[in-house]
Structure 1
């Protein structure tokens, strides 16, 4: 079975991390007319009529250069320009979530480049001052490092580990086996998804799964099995997918983030997804892959 979320990480680029501090190599690659550049205003990108626009290096505006790497013998870059550019045309410049429909098409390898670029842009936007002394942070290493102008402490991009889980109850594969889905109070009627939450300091990923499910729904989880992962720079998460086996089935909603949670059999899920009363996560998300892996195949409808 092909999982839909893998399309966003397929055919990744060579990040060339060892060249990020080689100024001569960087200048030589920037001078190559074959190089391609994604322009980011703050943390937003302006797509064109046929998808994302990659400029040549000679067409790129002045700004902070980010080396993304090499793919298909082409060097790929991003340039960050001030956020005022996007604010002047708010309807044309989109955040990463608005770009996802452009990244699910027939241009393999583009999504990892865009995730890399916007993830760095989000980091630069949110890390302007040193957390140790409050001094100004200056970029180096082709945008992959910040160093304090006052105390010299370096800062590096980080991804926050978040667990996302499909919890099932009953005999595996049996007709009455059920999976647990929840919904946020801000979502449209009928939209449900797998549960998720951030891993806390000193906590294993498996224990994070058990804690989050218990806190959000009151359901105790025993066995936890790793499924896969997906980079999700919205703004800086790494989604770590798991399947869990419930030890209890009574639902108690005590977390304000979860408005409703329900158990669904495969037949209930198929029927409700087909008639639109159940709206499942989008195909590019690992949440969708977790649901369809448990269900055993593709399902109709999505966000």
Structure 2
């Protein structure tokens, strides 16, 4: 069923170049360099047949804003991200640009002019290069937006290493982008049913697999077992790893697992789970066809877990 859609990339992150200020300046001056502009987790995209493509600008076209190195491709083209408002056209001028707020297919994207969209909306439509660039740019932007001050002394920090380090000039401490590991797991029982649940903040019918953050000093496997029993009261064993992908909302790394239930009676934590149900494959398909259940979008690792258990791709999402 292909790669995890937000785990794709087609550039070298070029860590060795981040500290070379002369190289960074030269790369920014190069006409071939391309820039993705990020505005509140979204970027300009344009329809290209059945795909969406990022609108990548030259440095001369890019607006002013925080600049971060993303990497270099096999042809030697450097890629940067810039954080800046995009209220108008491709360079922030002109009329309003529509913002896309829900996942959609390529046919639903308007022809011609670009729109503002994020990973949840168009991540599944982007190619490997664009998907990797946008995930990276959004993740860096989210980290910088919440780490402007030193956690040790409270003083303002300065950006270094092409956007990959913040340094406190007062105490000399260095601070690096962080990710929050979270386990996400499809629980199945000996009758080969899967367990899906709905969070209290979700509308009726929106269901997914269980997930939760890894706690300090905890292994991934223990986190899987703990989260399932905490959320739905089911004991599981033998967590089996599927894969991982970034989920920069704002800085999660989702680590996907399957886990076998050794108990099936449900006892829900009402603060976390509003509804949970066991589904056979036939029951899940019927519930989707009659609109009773809507699955997570294709861009999510939750969807991949469900489809891997089901055995094929499923149509329809949130």
Normalising by structure 2, what TM-score? Answer: 0.86
Distance 1:68 1:245, change over 3 A: same
| 1:166 match | 186
Equivalent runs, 1:22-101 vs 2, <5 Å:
22-41=20-39, 43-50=40-47, 51-73=53-75, 74-81=77-84, 92=98, 98-100=117-119, 101=121
User: Number of residue pairs matched?
Assistant: 293
| 2:149 match | 129
RMSD: 2.3
Equivalent runs, 1:178-197 vs 2, <5 Å:
178-197=193-212
| 2:259 match | 244
- Distance (whole Å) between structure 2 residues aligned to residue 279 and residue 290 of structure 1: 15
| 2:281 match | 266
Alpha carbons 2:9, 2:133 under 8 Å: kept:
no
- Distance (whole Å) between structure 1 residues aligned to residue 291 and residue 250 of structure 2: 30
Per-residue deviation, 1:47? 2.1
Residue-by-residue CA offset, 1:59-81 (whole Å, 9 max, x unaligned): 11222210001124221111123
SS at match of 2:134: helix
Does residue 1:103 correspond to 2:123, yes or no?
Answer: yes
| 2:113 match | none
Normalising by structure 1, what TM-score? Answer: 0.90
Per-residue deviation, 1:201? 0.3
- Distance (whole Å) between structure 2 residues aligned to residue 48 and residue 253 of structure 1: 41
SS at match of 1:47: strand
Alpha carbons 2:87, 2:96 under 8 Å: kept:
no
List gaps (5 residues or longer) in structure 2: 48-52, 104-116
| 2:299 match | 284
Alpha carbons 2:41, 2:118 under 8 Å: kept:
no
SS at match of 1:123: helix
Equivalent runs, 1:208-247 vs 2, <5 Å:
208-247=223-262
Alpha carbons 2:37, 2:44 under 8 Å: kept:
no
Alpha carbons 1:37, 1:55 under 8 Å: kept:
yes
Alpha carbons 1:119, 1:236 under 8 Å: kept:
yes
- Distance (whole Å) between structure 1 residues aligned to residue 96 and residue 229 of structure 2: 40
